[in-house]
Amino acid sequence: MALERSLGAESDSRRAGRAAVEAQGRLIASLAEVEARRAAATSASRQDHDASERFGVWLATSTDVLAAQANALRARLDLVDAVVDAHLAGARLLRALGVASAP
């Protein structure tokens, strides 16, 4: 009976360790996604700026400017989503480690 409990506890410990490693991997992936989305948002913002400048000298249409603005907004929203996902991944890692997170 004691051996079964010991083996069960060891199995639970391994399972918890695997869950923590998986949660850590998801956090690392989420942080990489934040960096990729940040780069995309920076690029889209620059394209928006360039389109506005071209419009000012009659080299772009208002449709070009609106498309660039829409792309920049979409990129910023994707960045926000990535940041939220990273925060959730961090909270899930804390939970997997058994650490109480701050409110």
Tell me the per-residue pLDDT of 60-90, one tens digit each, with 9 for 90 and over: 999 999 999 999 999 999 999 999 999 999 9
pLDDT surpassing 80 at residue 4 = no
Of the pLDDT bands very low, low, confident and very high (cuts 50, 70, 90), residue 14 is confident
- pTM as predicted: 0.83
Higher pLDDT, 77 or 10: 77
**Number of C-alpha atoms within 13 angstroms, CB side, residue 5?**
2
- The interaxial angle of helices 2-56 and 62-97, nearest 10 deg, is 160
Q: What is the pLDDT of residue 79?
A: 98
